[in-house]
Amino acid sequence: MARPDKSLPAARAAALECLSRTLFKATDLQAALDSVLSRSGLAGRDARLATELCYGFLRLKGRVDHVLSRLLRDPAAVPRAASLALGLAVYELLFLDRVPAYASVSWAVEHVKTLTRGRLAGLANAVLRRAADLAAEAREPEFYRAGASETAFLSRYYSCPEWIVRLWVESFGRETAEACLAAQCRPPALGLWLDMSGPVPDGLAADLARDPDCLERSGAAFAFAPGSRPRALEAAPAGVVFRQSFAAHQALVALGPERWQGPVWDACCGRGNKTRLLLGLGLDPVLASDPHPERVRALGREVPKALVFRARADAAAPLSGQVRSLVLDLPCSGLGVLSRRPDIKWKRRPRDLRGLVALQSRILDNCWTALAPGGVMAVLTCTLNPGENQSLRAGFLERTPDAAPERTFATPPDTRLGEFFYSWLARRRG
């Protein structure tokens, strides 16, 4: 077992631990990062660098893997911890211009030396110096085209598994697929939302809208360019501004929630962003449920106006025929938010999609029984898999004779937001 490397710079140590948990132990990326940063006490510049290394590396891991395949005779022969360190250093060399090349080579060579008791230090040094020489070339598409099929080229350059590339090209055509691929390997827009269910400082919304980095505004929701730090937030009190995907907000607002009636049940509430939005629209009462007890307790404390309880959306509905409006933010493959959750693309497999569709269908059928005649069900997903979107909707409508289709929405492929959602509304015939 390799000794801990006490000479490893703090940000790199945190990033490597987080990436190891994410790639080798299937831990959610943000959960791993939160845990590592909290335990290590990293803050400020080091915490920001560790975050950038984790997210940036996972977004562009496909490019990094291709570079290493060109520079290593047998990549599979390198122990995975050493391979991860090499990959992270290659990411720095190719895509982080503000980090000096000598610094990236130095920490990685020393770390590989520690991991392998000196055995692969020379190899690491040679590989990283050659990678540094390739930096300009490896930023260009042609570097990834040599000897590749069109699918392999798109997979390499846009750093996305081939099965996802094929799914998108077959489903949407080459042009739209490439737009989606380009979006997922860049950081997404920063989404912010003001909780209008309580007091909001005068002028805060106007100040956010005037920020030069503001891309779009919809009511109390704002989208900012990736990496933005709106100055107006410096004076905002706690509990007023929440991070929420602007694309997710669009997908819900497109279904006309301001015209819904209560009781409203957010049956897959998660951390409660949509619950807050529904309350902010003046809907009453708003019920929210989730199967995870920690989320339920946290939301109960943070949003006391909501009636929060623990429940599985695919189990027997506890509110039979009593709900006027139902919101289902379905668990899905997440293929529409790979820019925000880049670890997903390296963990998902095609077989996962079938199981998710079966779960989603159970949730739809189960929660539909809670809806009163004349009530509406809003369904949202954050995926670019037609089987979980258009086909799921069509299947539900076909087997549910009292369901009348109303609205549908899909994030356009030319969006500046970097994320893609699908939503639809059905009304229960009275």
Report the distance separating Cα 422 and Cα 243, nearest Å. 20
Domain match, 253 and 239 both: no
pLDDT for 1: 40
Domain match, 326 and 379 both: yes
Domain match, 278 and 200 both: no
The continuous run of DSSP H or E covering 424 comes out as: strand 422-428
Give yes or no for residue 198 having a pLDDT over 80. Answer: no
**Span 226-248, pLDDT tens digits:** 999 999 998 888 888 989 999 99
Domain match, 322 and 376 both: yes
Q: How remote is the C-alpha of 271 from its chain's centroid?
A: 14
Strand pairing category for 190-194 and 241-243: antiparallel
Where residue 30 sits, what CATH number does that domain have? 1.10.940.10
Domain match, 117 and 27 both: yes
Closest CA to 115 of 14, 16, 22: 16
Residue 120 lies in a domain: yes
DSSP-based three-state secondary structure for 192 = strand
pLDDT for 167: 98
Q: Are 291 and 310 in contact (CB under 8 A)?
A: yes
**Span 115-130, pLDDT tens digits:** 999 999 999 999 999 9
Q: Which of 97, 116, 139 corresponds to the end of one domain?
A: 139
Backbone phi, psi, residue 154, to 5°: -60, -40
The continuous run of DSSP H or E covering 152 comes out as: helix 150-157
Strand pairing category for 323-329 and 264-266: parallel
Report the distance separating Cα 62 and Cα 338, nearest Å. 13
**Span 63-103, pLDDT tens digits:** 999 999 999 999 999 999 999 999 999 999 999 988 999 99
Where residue 384 sits, what CATH number does that domain have? 3.40.50.150
**Span 281-309, pLDDT tens digits:** 899 999 999 999 999 999 999 889 999 99
Let me know if 398 is exposed, middle or buried by CB neighbors in 10 A (0-12, 13-18, 19+). Answer: exposed
Domain match, 410 and 330 both: yes
Q: Are 380 and 250 in contact (CB under 8 A)?
A: no
Residue 177 lies in a domain: no
pLDDT for 423: 98
Report the distance separating Cα 290 and Cα 223, nearest Å. 27
The total number of structural domains in the chain stands at 3
Give yes or no for residue 325 having a pLDDT over 90. Answer: yes
Domain match, 325 and 219 both: no
Instruction: Tell me the average pLDDT across 178-187.
Output: 97
Q: How many residues belong to the chain?
A: 430
Residue 65 lies in a domain: yes
Give yes or no for residue 264 having a pLDDT over 60. Answer: yes
Residue 26 lies in a domain: yes
**What DSSP letter does each residue of 100-146 carry, written as one string?**
-HHHHHHHHHHHHHHHTTTTTHHHHHHHHHHHHHTTTGGGSGGGGTT
How open is the CA angle 400-279-263, to the nearest 5 degrees?
A: 40
Domain match, 86 and 121 both: yes
Mean pLDDT taken over the chain: 94
Residue 346 lies in a domain: yes
Domain match, 205 and 290 both: no
Instruction: Tell me the average pLDDT across 45-57.
Output: 96
Report the distance separating Cα 240 and Cα 421, nearest Å. 25
Residue 363 lies in a domain: yes
How does residue 2 score in pLDDT terms, banded at 50, 70 and 90? very low
How does residue 343 score in pLDDT terms, banded at 50, 70 and 90? very high
Residue 3 lies in a domain: no
Q: Which of 243, 260, 275 corresponds to the end of one domain?
A: 243
Q: Considering just the CA atoms, what is the radius of gyration of the chain in Å?
A: 23
Domain match, 222 and 336 both: no
Q: Are 160 and 185 in contact (CB under 8 A)?
A: yes
Backbone phi, psi, residue 37, to 5°: -65, -40
Q: Are 112 and 131 in contact (CB under 8 A)?
A: no
Domain match, 353 and 238 both: no
Report the distance separating Cα 320 and Cα 331, nearest Å. 22
Report the distance separating Cα 376 and Cα 228, nearest Å. 37
- Identity (one letter) of the amino acid at 386? P
What's the domain range around 399? 249-428
Tokens representing 309 are 């309880």
Output the CA torsion 26→31→36→38 (10° steps): -160
Q: Which of 227, 243, 259 corresponds to the end of one domain?
A: 243
- Identity (one letter) of the amino acid at 361? S
- Identity (one letter) of the amino acid at 216? E
Instruction: Tell me the average pLDDT across 170-183.
Output: 97
Domain match, 55 and 72 both: yes
Tell me, what DSSP letter sits at residue 255?
T
On the question of a cis peptide bond just before residue 285, with omega within 30 degrees of 0, the verdict is: yes
State how far the alpha carbon of 372 is from the alpha carbons of 216, 225, 322, 367, 378, in Å. 36, 42, 5, 11, 14
What predicted TM-score, i.e. pTM, was given to this entire model? 0.94
Backbone phi, psi, residue 426, to 5°: -130, 140
Residue 169 lies in a domain: no
